[in-house]
Amino acid sequence: MESAGVQSAENTTAAAGSDAAPEAAPSAPRTGRAPDARSFVRPAVIVALLAFVLIAFPSMFSQYYVDAWTQVAIYSIVTLGLGVLVGRVGMVSLGQGAVLAMGAWVAARLLFATSLPFPVVLLAAGLITMLLGTLVGLPALRMSGLYLALITLMLAGAITVTLANINFPNGGHGFTGYNGASVHIPPIRRPSAAITDTAYFRYCVIVAIVMFVLVLVHLRGRPGRAWAAIRQSEAAALTAGINTTFYKLWAFALASFITGVAGGLVAGSFRYLNSLTFTTQDSITLLAVVLMGGAYSMWGAVVAAFLLKFLQALLNDWGLSPDWLTILFGIGVLQVLTTAPRGLVDQVPKDLAKLGRLLAKPFRRSPAAPEREEA
């Protein structure tokens, strides 16, 4: 009987505790986000948008541009990974292009050497790249800023050189599976359900969605909060009991994992990989577009991938060299760093809203909506 009394007393205190928080419903998630109408509308809009992309894009665009969108989907995973490092944890890595190449190499090797299902190969490529990519992250524990950027760039160079010299597997024999004669080279295998380019586009979008959800779960949870603390002040993070070394490595592991998975998708998309597909310059361009798109938002990653891969396809289509993009990205980074540090994903909606108000101005004089004028 006594224990029952204690029980109910505890329940009352618990209830009083949650009453103290004005918006804390007992069923509210642990992070303490209060549910409101917006939290239901937003996911609905996102789901509708993704369904539209998956269903309508292949019939809206020519095969050439569907392939371009496939690259956008794949590279949005890569830019997302770099965005986590730069925007959320504050570690600048110039080695992500090489991490992507590692993922592609591992996946191509596994696709030729084994008959494992494609998703298993992607997972394996992600995990192996995670181990290797975390090594790239080790200098981050001792260095930051410019020196970290330089070291990761050098490592990227080392990896690119190594991969260039051992060649990408192309179905030949031996450990690297390289056939120098380049005759009757079998293409890199694709998932059996996504052999055609259109089906492969949808496959890549779905994998990208899974990767975005994986990162979202991280950002909303304990690691996301720890990364926010580390980015703002390492001292504050340490005094909150956060093992900063562990969480920095975790960020590199997560970014490497999803970049490795993206590498596997790259292998499947090109069918024939060679070391020219990945250059050290890619790593630099990646950072530029991530900054332009917006490193602090997940949508910024999509914008970054669009800038990187869709514009490239567009210039190719117009018969211009995509190398011109380097200049455009240079100017873009300058613009973003000076006027819109949160990237285009933050700046463009603001500018559009401003433009909308400007265009609406002549009409607002009408008696229909005078209250806006007074406000």
Partner 1 sequence: MVEISELTVRFGGVTPLDGMSVRFEKGTCGLIGPNGAGKTTFFNVLSGFVRPVAGAVSAFGEDLLKMTHFRRARWGVRRTFQTEQAIEELSVYDNVAMIHEHSKLSGSTRRDDVIGAISLVGIKADPYAPVGTLSAVDRRLVEVARAVVGKPRIVLLDEPAAGLPDEETEHLSNVIQSIPEQTGALTILVDHDMSLVSACCETTAVLDFGKLLASGPTRDVLRDERVIRAYLGTEEVG
- Residue numbers at the binding site for partner 1 (CB under 8 A): 13-14, 17-18, 20-24, 30-34, 222, 225-226, 228-229, 232-233, 235-236, 238-244
Distance CA 362, CA 373 (A): 11
Do the beta carbons of residue 150 and residue 93 sit within 8 Å? no
For residue 188, count CB atoms less than 10 angstroms from its CB and return exposed for 0-12, middle for 13-18, buried for 19 or more.
Answer: buried
- Report the 10 Å Cβ neighbour count for 110: 23
Distance CA 34, CA 18 (A): 13
Cβ 131 to partner 1 shortest distance, Å: 25
Which is nearer to partner 1, 17 or 187 (by Cβ)? 17
Cβ 294 to partner 1 shortest distance, Å: 14
Which is nearer to partner 1, 7 or 281 (by Cβ)? 7
Helix 298-305 and helix 280-293, axial crossing angle in degrees, nearest 10 = 130
Tokens for 151, please give them.
């070291």
Cβ 11 to partner 1 shortest distance, Å: 12
Do the beta carbons of residue 123 and residue 106 sit within 8 Å? no
What are the C-alpha distances in Å from 247 to residues 137, 182, 208, 222, 240? 11, 45, 23, 10, 13
Which is nearer to partner 1, 182 or 232 (by Cβ)? 232
- Residue spans of alpha helices (H) in 186-240: 197-220, 222-232, 234-239
Cβ 158 to partner 1 shortest distance, Å: 32
Residue with tokens 């396809």: 313
Distance CA 375, CA 366 (A): 15
Cβ 349 to partner 1 shortest distance, Å: 19
Which is nearer to partner 1, 223 or 264 (by Cβ)? 223
Cβ 207 to partner 1 shortest distance, Å: 29
The dihedral sign for the CA sequence 56, 61, 67, 69? negative
Cβ 3 to partner 1 shortest distance, Å: 18
Do the beta carbons of residue 170 and residue 273 sit within 8 Å? yes
Helix 38-60 and helix 63-83, axial crossing angle in degrees, nearest 10 = 140
Which is nearer to partner 1, 101 or 298 (by Cβ)? 298
Cβ 37 to partner 1 shortest distance, Å: 16
Which is nearer to partner 1, 49 or 236 (by Cβ)? 236
Do the beta carbons of residue 278 and residue 75 sit within 8 Å? no
Which is nearer to partner 1, 34 or 352 (by Cβ)? 34
Cβ 147 to partner 1 shortest distance, Å: 21
Do the beta carbons of residue 46 and residue 64 sit within 8 Å? no
Residue with tokens 């609406």: 360
Which is nearer to partner 1, 23 or 317 (by Cβ)? 23
Which is nearer to partner 1, 141 or 284 (by Cβ)? 141
Tokens for 255, please give them.
């970014």
